[in-house]
Structure 1
Amino acid sequence: MTALLEATGVGVRFGGVRALDDVAVTVRGGEVCGLIGPNGAGKTTLFDVLSGIRRPDRGRVLLDGVDITRRSPVWRARHGVRRTFQRQQLFGQLTVEDNLVVAQEWRRGPVAARRARAAELLRVCGLERLAGTYAGVLPVGQARMAELARALADPPRLLLLDEPASGMSAEERGRLAAVVRRVAEEEGCAVLLVEHHVSFVMELCARVVVLDLGRVLAEGPAEAVRADPRVRAAYLGSAGSVSGPAECDPAVDR
């Protein structure tokens, strides 16, 4: 199957620091791909490039074969590229339901249709009883799920999830995984997620890409990546047991 997302030769420098160096990542429609690596590996910078927040110094980003390297974040969002962030971006003064309705307003369809879509996502994401709750008072785990629902409000083609399981309980992570699988399998969405909870990544993602010092260190099936001695040395071994829920400092990485 042709890749829906294809980034090739991506390079980004911050002064004398090479944040990304000849990075290549592909994700097919219907696939959930994990992106892991130690803090400072360049994961957030790569997401900034893919979502249009930062223009790379070199390389290209293709969406379903179309070069979008110079396209704005707004253009990408309106053509199906959705992203969540490490830090919550909900409108705290709006209810959870209204956050989902607002995410669809650019299409200018009937309000009833937007509210119907919001109701569907509230149900899928287990947020029905919180529909009228102001987003600003949600606990972290529920806020993360509300952000995912908002990213899905206008059906995405490419979904970029930046530490979506951070702060979630085991039960919430289970629901998150179920929703992500559903979006990929039933709607054909390509999903790329960054997550420090390694066991979550290994259970959810069939394929994993590992970044280290701005370069792709390893890529392949989850179990093969878990067993790669280079990955164990650079990331998994320093974060904890490779068979356990390895997590490291969730600080923003560049």
Structure 2
Amino acid sequence: MSGYVLHAGGVGVRFGGVRALSGVDLGIRAGEVCGLIGPNGAGKTTLFDVLSGIRRPDRGRVLLDGADITRRSPVWRARHGMRRTFQRQQLFGQLSVADNVLVAQEWRGGGGGPAADLLALPSRRARERTRRVRTERVLAHCGIGALGTSYAGGLPVGQARMVELARAVADPPRVLLLDEPASGMSAPEREQLAAVVRRLAAQDGCAVLLVEHNVAFVMDLCTRVVVLDLGTVLAEGTPAEVRADPLVREAYLGAT
């Protein structure tokens, strides 16, 4: 567990007679971009649900900075620096892009950070002005600054994915869980996504874990890759090590 910001230890989840996760151990460090890959049904989204507090495991623990948060709610985890996106888009379609990001800064209480600092500002007007400056900044960093006044519900998939990312990082996260972030994106949009994620890890020290079916994207972006198969960790290592693993090639990459 040494050095891990977020760690899942011996996590198991069962749905009736089906074991979705069986003793999974996985940890991510500050400044690391880790990829989680595997075939459909491997347990990737179930593991994300456990890490983000949506689902409580049947056994095992989830630790944040060494503290047991297994029974903590998703809201508690978000207030203490954990953010997540979903496979299925979760934008407020009737709001503008800028307002979607503004909503993400509406925090009360919690574990500090820029959004919590807003409460210390002397007036409502000062807080609103600071939120809007931060919103403009994060939209620009995500390459979608020109979309601020557009309605989120009318965006193509790739742009909508970037809005979700902008909303997730409006209050800079310590841990970022990205579930299929490149789905529906064009090649230039994937490059922009990768640039934002790298900057979050390198400059802000964010610990990033992403699930993605685009293996080439994962291998190019991530410094470490974990492969799940049938609810267990099949392999773990650098992209080169995982590509060369015969078990991974047979089970997932389609080679023998």
C-alpha distance in 1, partners of 2:184/2:37?
Answer: 17
5+ unaligned residues in a row in structure 1: which ranges?
Answer: 243-254
C-alpha distance in 1, partners of 2:205/2:159?
Answer: 25
**Post-superposition shift, 1:65?**
1.2
2:77 matched residue in structure 1: 76
1:94 matched residue in structure 2: 95
**Post-superposition shift, 1:113?**
1.1
C-alpha distance in 2, partners of 1:129/1:119?
Answer: 10
C-alpha distance in 2, partners of 1:89/1:66?
Answer: 29
1:45 matched residue in structure 2: 46
The partner residue of 2:243 within 195, 211, 226 is 226
**Post-superposition shift, 1:112?**
1.1
1:246 matched residue in structure 2: none
1:249 matched residue in structure 2: none
C-alpha distance in 2, partners of 1:114/1:3?
Answer: 31
C-alpha distance in 1, partners of 2:64/2:199?
Answer: 21
One-letter code aligned to 1:60: R
C-alpha distance in 2, partners of 1:150/1:36?
Answer: 24
C-alpha distance in 2, partners of 1:77/1:112?
Answer: 23
**Post-superposition shift, 1:114?**
1.1
2:201 matched residue in structure 1: 184
1:193 matched residue in structure 2: 210
5+ unaligned residues in a row in structure 2: which ranges?
Answer: 108-115, 120-126
One-letter code aligned to 1:203: D
- Which portions of structure 1, spanning 4 or more consecutive aligned residues, are displaced by more than 4 angstroms? none
Report the identity percentage: 74
**Post-superposition shift, 1:148?**
0.3
1:251 matched residue in structure 2: none
SS of equivalent to 2:254:
helix
CA RMSD in angstroms, aligned pairs only: 1.2
Question: What TM-score does the superposition give when structure 2 sets the normalisation length?
Answer: 0.92
C-alpha distance in 1, partners of 2:232/2:238?
Answer: 18
C-alpha distance in 1, partners of 2:59/2:175?
Answer: 22
C-alpha distance in 2, partners of 1:170/1:36?
Answer: 20
Report how many residues are paired.
239
Question: What TM-score does the superposition give when structure 1 sets the normalisation length?
Answer: 0.92
- The 5 A counterparts of 1:12-51 are 12-51=13-52
- The 5 A counterparts of 1:1-254 are 2-106=3-107, 107=116, 109=119, 110-237=127-254
SS of equivalent to 1:34:
strand
Residues 71-95 of structure 1 deviation map (CA, whole Å, 9 limit, x = unaligned):
0000001101100000000100110
C-alpha distance in 1, partners of 2:180/2:244?
Answer: 23
